[in-house]
Structure 1
Amino acid sequence: MSANKPTNTSYKHSSHKKLNPKKLPPKKLHNSKWTALKPLKKEKHFLVTEVEFDEEGAVIHCLIEAVISNRSYAIDWTDLKNETKWRQGWN
């Protein structure tokens, strides 16, 4: 077996692709994973569990759930764009 194995650089697994938070499209919010950079009550990792839209496609409700405690919090979805508070993915 050759030590120089060819690698497939074109392979991308879309479920692990992180979006630029500043360009986060609201339709991609549901089931997205987030890490709070300043955790409270030991809650650091969150999952967006609910997103509701109005007739024009604007987000009117966003609910995140803490993975460790299963507590849910309603938030303004645009807060997730704040890179001093949130990082996309579970880090």
Structure 2
Amino acid sequence: MNPIHPKKLHLSKWTAVRPQAKEKHFLVTRVIHAEALPGSVQSTPAVEAVELEAVMSKRSQRIDWRELQDSAQWRQGWL
């Protein structure tokens, strides 16, 4: 399991374990936060998802940020 802190996700680099369409290296270009509930005491809304951009093709995809913790699918950094 990849240890990840949600606050350090933006602009982090990832390598797909099983590349598809020659897309292996990805960059987190956007962190998507859950909507804060009115009257909530949380100062920062929780992270809900991230937008990954393939380095070669510039194609973007949105995934749940917890999927990055699965070391069978993702490796942190560009390997």
TM-score in terms of structure 1 length: 0.72
How many residue pairs match? The answer is 71
Give me the whole-angstrom Cα distance separating, in 2, the residues matched to 1:30 and 1:69: 19
Q: Between Structure 1 and Structure 2, which shows a larger proportion of strand residues? A: 2
1:37 aligns with 2:31: no
RMSD of aligned residue pairs (Cα, Å): 1.4
| Residue 21 (str. 1) matches residue 9 (str. 2) | no
Rg (Cα) greater in structure: 1
Q: What residue ranges of structure 2 are gaps of 5+ in the alignment? A: 37-41
Structure 1: give runs of 5+ residues left out of the alignment: 1-19
2:57 alignment partner in structure 1: 69
Q: CA deviation at 1:26?
A: 0.6
- In proportion to residue count, which structure has more helix? 1
The SS at the match of 2:18 is strand
User: How high is the sequence identity, in percent, across the aligned residues?
Assistant: 52
CA drift at 1:60? 2.4
Aligned to 2:33: 53
User: Secondary structure of the residue that 2:11 maps to in structure 1?
Assistant: coil
TM-score for the superposition, normalised by structure 2: 0.82
Q: Which has the higher contact order (CA 8 A, sep 6+)?
A: 2
